[in-house]
Chains A and B, each alone.
Chain A
Amino acid sequence: MCSYIVEKAKLIGSAKGASGWMRIDTANVYYDHPFHAPLDHALGIDFINEAEGARERGAG
């Protein structure tokens, strides 16, 4: 809660972000205050491509 704690998991796959489909290599997983869900805490999973700079994410 109110932390910057993020567990990172390496993986292979694809996800759809704001710009469309992208290759992903990492999942950032955290349990903290969500941005959108009407909950105090939620499990957040962001799929990113860390090798390509992680500018975009498939957010969940």
Chain B
Amino acid sequence: MYEGMFAETVSFRGHKGDVGEAYYARPLGAGPWPGVVLIHHMPGWDEWIKEATRKLAYHGFATISPHLYFREGPGSPDDVGARTRAAGGVADEQVIGDVAGSMEFLRAQPYANGKIGVIGFCSGGRHTYLVACSLPGIDAAVDCWGGNVIVDDPKQLNAKRPVAPIDLTDKLRCPLLGLFGNDDENPNRDQVNRTEAVLKKLGKNYEFHRYDGAGHAFFNVMRPAYRAEQALDGWSKVFAFYRKHLAAPAAARAA
């Protein structure tokens, strides 16, 4: 069996039509392939994020990871990440626009099967929750340890992040998979439980998995936080979830 992929940096049109860079990896072959938008973590658009993008392509998903901090460039991802941190991060409205643009990129590919998933890690997990409540056309969302979905201190809300994503849960329009380490402090166990309670109360289609012996970022092979056993299980849950929800062509959308 021949396995191959194509992975490179591409341009995408994001919020307000701004053109930025993204890392895009897709399986070689006629497809059709489902698409995935991968939202990077707070430190930035780094090597591990690109590795995760390729991992999804290996498993059959045409995956684009937009560089959410590109407007603070040019420069290396760590310098750009530092500038972005110093500027107080990126605005939710801008992230939503950049993810929408990334979804359009996926839809435009001739081998797209019409289904789109979103996955995010860390602040990307929070962004995943946010876009799943804000954007139409997402068929499955995966929130990996996204902190600040629940905001206990209202003073943390600001012009860039004016609303706690939990308050948008009634607008969640797709199945949601959440993966969390029980030793994580942001989100902590109580916050994950409270998020689940809201999803349950609103009758949303979700599944949450919590891992003992794991904290924040336990998928990240480049950090001491990496936990092999939990990460292997977590990834298998991601792929099973995506195969279930992204496999069929979107016949309704094509009509």
A residues whose Cβ falls under 8 Å from a Cβ of B: 1-4, 6, 8, 18, 28, 30, 32-36, 38-40, 44, 46, 48, 54-57, 59
Contact = CB atoms under 8 A, between A and B. Distances in A.
A1 B224 contact: no
17 contacts: A2-B42, A2-B216, A3-B42, A4-B42, A4-B84, A4-B88, A8-B86, A32-B42, A35-B81, A38-B222, A38-B224, A39-B224, A40-B215, A40-B225, A46-B86, A57-B79, A59-B79
B122 A2 contact: yes
A-side binding surface: helix, strand, loop or mixed?
loop
A54 B78 contact: no
B185 to A, nearest CB: 6
Contacts of A39: 223-224
Contacts, number: 70
Size category of the B interface is 20 to 34
A52 B217 CA distance: 35
A35 B78 contact: yes
Interface of B: 41-44, 46, 75, 77-79, 81-86, 88-89, 122-123, 147-148, 185-186, 215-217, 222-225
A21 B186 CA distance: 38
